[in-house]
Amino acid sequence: MTHTTRTDRRHLLQTAALAVSIVAASSAVGTAWAQAAKWPSKPIRIVVAFPPGGLTDAYARNYGEYLSTKLGVPVVIDNKPGAGAIIGIDAAAKAPADGYTFVMSTSGTFWQNRILYSKLPYNLDKDLTPVTVFPSGPLVVGIHDKIPAKNMAEFVAWAKKNPTSMGTYAPGSYPHMVADQTNRQQGTQIQSVHYKGEAAMWLDVASGQSQIAVGSFQAFNAMASRGVRAIGVTGSYRSPKLPDVPTLTEQGNTDKLVTLEGGLPLVAPAGTPEAVLKRMADEAVAWSNTDKAAKLRETFAIPNKPKNLADTRKDWEGEVPVWIKLAVDLGIKLD
Shared-domain flag, residues 166 and 81:
no
Shared-domain flag, residues 280 and 315:
yes
- Residue 276's domain is classified under what CATH number? 3.40.190.150
Tell me how far CA of residue 214 lies from CA of 50, 129, 221, 276, in angstroms: 16, 28, 12, 35
Which of 259, 278, 295 is where one domain is finished? 259
Shared-domain flag, residues 267 and 254:
no
User: What pLDDT is recorded for position 75?
Assistant: 98
- Residue 239's domain is classified under what CATH number? 3.40.190.10
What is the pTM (predicted TM-score) of this model?
Answer: 0.78
Is 67 domain-assigned? Answer: yes
Shared-domain flag, residues 116 and 152:
no
Shared-domain flag, residues 86 and 106:
yes
- Cα separation, 87 vs 81, whole angstroms: 7
CB 131 within 8 A of CB 269: no
Specify burial of residue 123 (Cβ count, 10 A radius: 0-12, 13-18, 19+).
Answer: exposed
Is 38 domain-assigned? Answer: no
Shared-domain flag, residues 159 and 204:
yes
- Cα separation, 214 vs 115, whole angstroms: 21
- Cα separation, 277 vs 274, whole angstroms: 5
Shared-domain flag, residues 183 and 287:
no
Shared-domain flag, residues 70 and 210:
no
User: What pLDDT is recorded for position 308?
Assistant: 97
User: What pLDDT is recorded for position 37?
Assistant: 59
Shared-domain flag, residues 128 and 188:
no
Q: Which range marks the domain in which residue 317 is found?
A: 44-136+262-330
| Amino acid found at 69 | T
DSSP structure string for 196-232: SSHHHHHHHHHHTSSSEEEE-HHHHHTTGGGTEEEEE
What total of structural domains would you count in the chain?
A: 2
CA atoms within a 13 Å half-sphere pointing along the CA-CB vector of 213: 34
Shared-domain flag, residues 84 and 104:
yes
- Cα separation, 144 vs 174, whole angstroms: 19
Task: Report the Cα 281 to chain-centroid distance in Å.
Answer: 14
Residue 165 backbone dihedrals phi, psi, to 5 degrees: -130, 145
Tell me how far CA of residue 52 lies from CA of 200, 265, 274, 300, in angstroms: 12, 17, 30, 15
Shared-domain flag, residues 150 and 215:
yes
Q: What is the pLDDT along the chain (335 residues), one digit of tens a residue?
A: 544 444 444 444 444 444 444 334 344 344 444 445 589 999 999 999 998 878 899 999 999 999 999 999 999 999 999 888 999 999 999 999 999 999 999 988 898 888 888 889 999 989 999 999 999 889 999 999 999 999 999 999 999 999 999 999 877 788 888 998 899 999 999 999 998 888 899 999 999 999 999 998 988 999 999 999 999 999 889 999 999 999 999 999 988 888 887 799 999 999 999 999 999 999 999 999 999 999 999 988 898 999 999 999 999 998 888 888 888 877 777 77
Shared-domain flag, residues 273 and 125:
yes
β-pairing, 101-104 vs 44-48, is: parallel
